[in-house]
Amino acid sequence: MGEPMRRRDFLIWSAGALGAWPAVAEAQPSKRQRRIAVVAPGRTIEELKTSSYYLTLYDQLAKHGFVEGQNLVIERHSGAGQLDGYADIARTVVSSNPDAIFTTANPMTLAMKGATRTIPIVTIVGDPLLTGIAASLARPGGNVTGITIDAGIDLHGKRLSLLRETRPDASRLVYLASSSAWKQPQAAAVREAAQLLKLVLTHVDLGSIFNGAAYSRAVAQVEAARAELLLVSDEPEHLSNSKALIDVAAGTRLPAMYPFRDLAVAGGLMAYYRDLHDALRQAGDQIAQILDGENPAEMPFRQPTSFKLSINAKTAQEIGVVVPQTLLASADEVIE
């Protein structure tokens, strides 16, 4: 045996060992490579790469150690706003057997759930209980969890009451939505909210494909209904058709309420909405948890705690609507 280590030698050895520690730490194995599918009902593949919302999702995954091009493969799929084709998209996605699927909207989520009961799915939807996506918010119980952007009848009632402040004497409302959305719980909540406010409600049907032609046809339907107010459904497919959608209200000079901030920024009169960047960050957290081995059946759906109001003052002036000062004062954002 050698002589006991002197204090000076120990200090030199300690300094050397500590100096080597970062290199040792950096050599530690990273998370193993995983593969996810990102499926958008309406966004194009290019939008899935460049949209600020999806970049927020990818940034959040990176914060958890899952970085595209390093240890994460992202397969991107678009439903192109064609609701009748969602089941085919779902079968294609499931056939590649990704480690997790991220999507949005009730119809696409239901299509994914119908195609697999084993691959974990994280989604952003309205009410997952009424649509049968989850057994409960606290414990979904299946392979689907995610984020809700809805607050039931209260949310739709709030949207309508804010919209009506622009025309207090209005009695006729049109609801712009697809055929599928008109059959869903959100539409039932809209019907109930309209009844409570004594508004005659007409569904202006976009059919099953979100495209310019569908919105152009909607203008004539809105005029035929002699509408005084326009409420737009919370279907994310609208986001890829913002100009055509905004033109419906501009062409009829109607005050309109939208479900996403982007649509107010694009020229819509007002939007009352959940912060989608916050929702995408939370979705990123959940996907990372699943990739780390957590069970979606035990992961609660995360619910919104607040909503925001954006008003486009320039649009109000263009369509001849006087927005009350009290409403402007209560807005989180006034777009000039």
Task: Answer whether 156's CB lies under 8 Å from 190's CB.
Answer: yes
| Angle at which helices 106-115 and 86-95 cross, to 10° | 50
**What pLDDT is recorded for position 27?**
35
Better-predicted residue by pLDDT, 254 or 150: 254
Task: Answer whether 23's CB lies under 8 Å from 16's CB.
Answer: no
Torsion on CA atoms 173, 174, 179, 181, rounded to nearest 10: -60
Q: What is the CA radius of gyration of the chain?
A: 25
Mean pLDDT of 317-329: 96
Q: Name the pLDDT band for 31 (thresholds 50, 70, 90).
A: confident
Please report, as a single letter, which amino acid is at residue 252.
T
CA angle 276, 90, 217 (to 5 degrees): 65
**What pLDDT is recorded for position 277?**
97
Instruction: Write the pLDDT tens digit of every residue in 161-176.
Output: 999 999 999 999 999 9
- % the chain with pLDDT above 90: 86
Instruction: Write the pLDDT tens digit of every residue in 184-214.
Output: 888 999 999 999 999 999 999 999 999 999 9
Instruction: Write the pLDDT tens digit of every residue in 32-67.
Output: 899 999 999 999 999 999 999 999 999 999 999 999
Is the pLDDT confidence value at 84 over 60? yes
Is the pLDDT confidence value at 19 over 50? no
Instruction: Write the pLDDT tens digit of every residue in 265-294.
Output: 999 999 999 999 999 999 999 999 999 999
CA distance 260 to 275: 8
Better-predicted residue by pLDDT, 222 or 17: 222
**What pLDDT is recorded for position 30?**
65
Question: Which residue from 290, 321, 284 is spatially nearest to 100, judged by alpha carbons?
Answer: 290
